[in-house]
């Protein structure tokens, strides 16, 4: 009985017959990089991917979940998906642990050809050189934001092209890119990247708290409108909208109850 291949044969030839590149690694092509492949392509050479298991995999999952919760509509969170970094020095397909992208065209399990908004690498099982070479390539291609999450030290290192790295330690918060402010979160406590309980507070807990705050704000705005209506004050449509959109409508309750005229109340809206 013939054994069926799990995937079609690749055109690059047997691994043991490949020539070696300048750093002593086997040469490869994009055909060697596919879903489930153990390889990444770095300037024409094959680098073995570090396994996403144990603490490395746990941190990847925490980050991806947080990003998916807070990403704006139209922004996609990818985990372990190949990104094209090919340039004049050779073909490169590297897979960030987590990447945030805003221009996804093809399905996210295919090679991504754009520039991520944010790329994250978890320093868990990777060697220092492996990670440094990977991040260096991101910076050379002007990827605007790269995080290195250091599992052992529980720190987050933020790198941007042309600037020095900034390290955020436990007890501090990492500024988030604007594309992650869908629910109003602008910074992320470093502890939330390593502690599942803290992660939940910044994930579902944050969204629930924001929803409760918004509901209370709307209830207060409606109360202001009811007070004005009970006093017989007819409001222009624009004034009603300003009350409903006011960030702190509780400050309008006093003027709504005491203003001698509707005109006097409207001055409190300016």
Instruction: Answer yes or no: are the C-beta atoms of 18 and 26 closer than 8 Å.
Output: yes
Would you place residue 3 in the very low, low, confident or very high pLDDT band (cuts 50, 70, 90)?
Answer: very low
Q: Which of 6-10, 52-56, 93-97, 135-139 has the lowest mean pLDDT?
A: 6-10
The residue extents of the domains of the chain are 49-202, 213-267
Percent of the chain with pLDDT over 70: 93
In the numeric block, the tokens 């991504």 are attached to 112
Q: Which residues are CB-contacts of 217 (< 8 A; sequence separation ≥ 6)?
A: 246, 247, 248, 249
pLDDT at 230 over 80: yes
The CATH architecture to which 49-202 belongs is Alpha-Beta Complex (3.90)
pLDDT at 9 over 90: no
Residue 21 CA to residue 230 CA, distance in Å, equals 82
Instruction: Answer yes or no: are the C-beta atoms of 121 and 150 closer than 8 Å.
Output: no
Query: Which pLDDT tens digit goes with each residue over 100-113?
Result: 999 988 888 889 99
pLDDT at 85 over 60: yes
Which among 37, 251, 23, 115 is positioned nearest to 15, based on CA atoms? 37
């Amino acid at each position: 009985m013939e054994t069926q291949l799990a995937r079609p044969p690749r055109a690059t030839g047997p691994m043991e017959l490949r020539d070696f590149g300048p750093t002593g690694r086997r040469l490869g092509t994009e055909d060697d990089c596919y879903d489930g492949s153990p390889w990444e392509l770095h300037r024409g050479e094959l680098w073995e991917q570090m396994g996403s298991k144990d603490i490395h995999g746990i941190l990847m999952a925490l980050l991806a979940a947080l990003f998916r919760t807070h990403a704006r509509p139209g922004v996609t969170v990818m985990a372990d998906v190949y990104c094209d970094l090919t340039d004049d020095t050779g073909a490169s397909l590297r897979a960030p642990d987590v990447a945030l992208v805003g221009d996804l065209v093809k399905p996210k399990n295919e090679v991504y050809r754009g520039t991520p908004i944010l790329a994250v690498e978890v320093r868990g099982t990777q060697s220092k050189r492996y990670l440094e070479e990977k991040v260096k390539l991101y910076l050379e291609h002007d990827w605007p934001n790269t995080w290195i999450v250091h599992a052992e030290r529980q720190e987050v290192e933020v790198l941007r092209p042309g600037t020095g790295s900034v390290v955020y330690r436990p007890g501090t918060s990492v500024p988030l890119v604007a594309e992650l402010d869908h629910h109003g979160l602008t910074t992320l406590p470093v502890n939330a990247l390593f502690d599942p309980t803290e992660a939940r507070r910044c994930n579902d807990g944050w969204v629930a708290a924001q929803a409760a705050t918004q509901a209370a704000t709307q209830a207060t705005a409606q109360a202001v409108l009811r007070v004005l209506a009970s006093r017989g004050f007819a409001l222009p449509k624009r004034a009603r909208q300003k009350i409903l959109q006011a960030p702190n409508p509780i400050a309008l309750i006093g003027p709504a109850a005491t203003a001698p005229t509707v005109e006097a109340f409207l001055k409190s809206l300016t």
